[in-house]
Amino acid sequence: MPMAFTDYTFAASGAPTLRTLPQRLSEIVNVKDWGAIGDGIANDSAAINSAINHIYTRPFKGAILYFPSGTYYLGNPATPIDIAPIDNIVCNLIMMGAGRDATIIRGTYSNGNPYIGWYDFGAGGFGYFLPPSSLITSSHRSDGNNRRQNANLIFTLCDMTIQNDSTAKWSLAVCIGPASNWRIENCKFIGTSGFAVSTSFNMIMRSCVAVSNVAIPTADNAKPDPLTALEIYHWPPPTDGLWDLIANPTREAPVYSGTFGIAFGQGLITNCKADGFDIGIAIAGNGMSVFSNRVSRCGIGFHHGLTVNQGIRGGLGKAISNSVDRCLFGHYPMSGFELKANIVSGTQGPADPAAVQGIVFSGGTATVTTVNNHNLPAGASKLVLMTDPAGWTPGNTGNEIVTCNNTGAKQFTYSLGAGPGTFNSASWNYPIQLCFDSIGATQRTHGANILSAVCSIASFRYGGTSEYDNIFMATQGPYGWSSQATVEYASWQFHHCGTTGVSPNPSAPLNPLAPVMRYIELPPIATAQERAEGQQYWIVDGPNGIGFGQHLTTGGGTNKYLVRYNGTNWTRVA
């Protein structure tokens, strides 16, 4: 009796076990076996989701979901791919393409929801999600919520491009809920924002690219101050102005309102790239490692301490050998962080230069007329001015930061010693404001960072309240060092830092901005975490009424002394 082809068994070369062809093919779930076409025209969303649902019904709950080379269209509006369609099922899902540029998942999707998680609008418990505006997401439910249920899903996404063609606010390529032990590798994310995970543990992202689908604007359409990209709002606004999600799980979370390339929690990001967003890479949580990544032309390159759905948070981690071009590196309230061997470069901000129609000179003032209306704030602004001939810039360089005054919708002026006579061409742009901006720093180490970007404020700005135990080593700040008004100088120690390559005076603390402190700026004895035995600082005044050989207890005096904390009090040692 003839045997059906599907029943025919054979062994692999050199192997002892006989198996059928269907047994071999079932080891990898191919989306084309479930009806996907991959021609960029037919809607493949139902076929892809059917394949995923099948994987969840398999006895061992897991498989490679393979996408052969092609473009898999999800529609306009798209039906997102749901990688976790069933509650509380242990599953190992690997979504694999044929290569980052060979397999493309594409669609247009925006439902108007912000990036938000751990949100409860009366559903009866903590841990619900609004469905995000992304092509790949997790755990859609018929009641319109996403449940926090991904702890049992081990997920890998690799070797493909995910492209959301929507340019609406909050739309992005991939947005998934809380996750652990996931791997994202060799992918490209295209959208208004790229990739986001609300909360993550032990995740790895390697060799991925995030690209904005919104064109980089010219300077006259850009944000004058990139720091305004940090738009945090509440969804919906709490009636009492407070937020404490743990104590009150019905409290709404603060939500980031700008765009980003990659937003991540705990884990490793390495050899990735982000271009053209408000924030290139946003990370938060303990145990973050950010190695050898490149960010270009974003408002803020790296934001350490921002989650897209819970505002500003802190955490431990390392950022080593990263490159940031035409944007500030950025570093915000995270404790126990190391930043070493990073490079910040660029001669102008992220926007494209805006065109200048002409420049005229009269009586020590140059008047610039722009082609389009500029968006300069009232009063003075620092701009990058690029001119031909070079004599139209005060330093005769043809490309430098110039202090300009807004004098009309299409005009601004600046001081100039003499006019060069002829005018050929010119353009203007907003500058990079800072290489590093550090706020609320605690127990952080900066070392051997290259701050080569041309900055309008300073190479490094630090300071803020509740700071302690920070060290800055072996770094030159060619455009100076700046502090916040509330800086606590005792929280920073500078070693072999400066502005010219020459070490500061060794008889004073190696702080290029504040070589000595006042007595009142010493770490307070009452706050244990802000001082430790062995700390030493130079101070310019001392306690009233007692000698420096005695314990220091009050302020006053006019001399400079070196004091040391002996475990109980501050004492004079020199």
| Sequence spans of domains, the chain | 28-113+129-216+232-305, 316-350+434-515, 354-429, 531-574
Q: Residue 459's pLDDT band (boundaries 50, 70, 90)?
A: confident
Per-residue burial over 396-415, b if 16 or more Cβ lie within 10 Å, else e, is eeebbbbebebeeeebbbbe
Compute how many other C-beta atoms are within 10 angstroms of the C-beta atom of residue 246: 8
Residue with tokens 């996931």: 182
DSSP 311: E
pLDDT above 80 for 233: no
- Beta strands (DSSP E) in 108-249 are 128-129, 133-137, 146-147, 153-164, 171-176, 179-180, 183-191, 193-197, 200-201, 203-206, 209-212, 232-234
Tell me which CATH homologous superfamily contains domain 28-113+129-216+232-305: Single-stranded right-handed beta-helix, Pectin lyase-like (2.160.20.10)
202-223 per-position pLDDT tens digit: 789 999 999 999 999 999 998 7
Which residues face 243 on adjacent strands?
Answer: none
CA separation, residue 515 to residues 490, 494, 520, 523 (Å): 11, 9, 15, 16
Radius of gyration from C-alpha coordinates of the chain: 29
Q: What is the mean pLDDT of residues 74-102?
A: 88
In terms of Cβ atoms closer than 10 Å to its own Cβ (0-12, 13-18, 19+), residue 474 is middle
Identify the three-state secondary structure at position 219. helix
CA–CA distance, 256 with 312 (Å, rounded to integer): 9
Output 102 or 201, whichever has higher pLDDT.
102
pLDDT above 70 for 147: no
pLDDT above 50 for 179: yes
Give which of 184, 141, 139, 190 is closest to 161, Cα–Cα. Answer: 190
In terms of Cβ atoms closer than 10 Å to its own Cβ (0-12, 13-18, 19+), residue 201 is middle
Out of 20-24, 83-87, 363-367, pick the least confident.
20-24
Ramachandran sector of residue 61 (left: φ over 0; alpha: ψ -120 to 50; beta: rest):
left
Q: Residue 533's pLDDT band (boundaries 50, 70, 90)?
A: confident
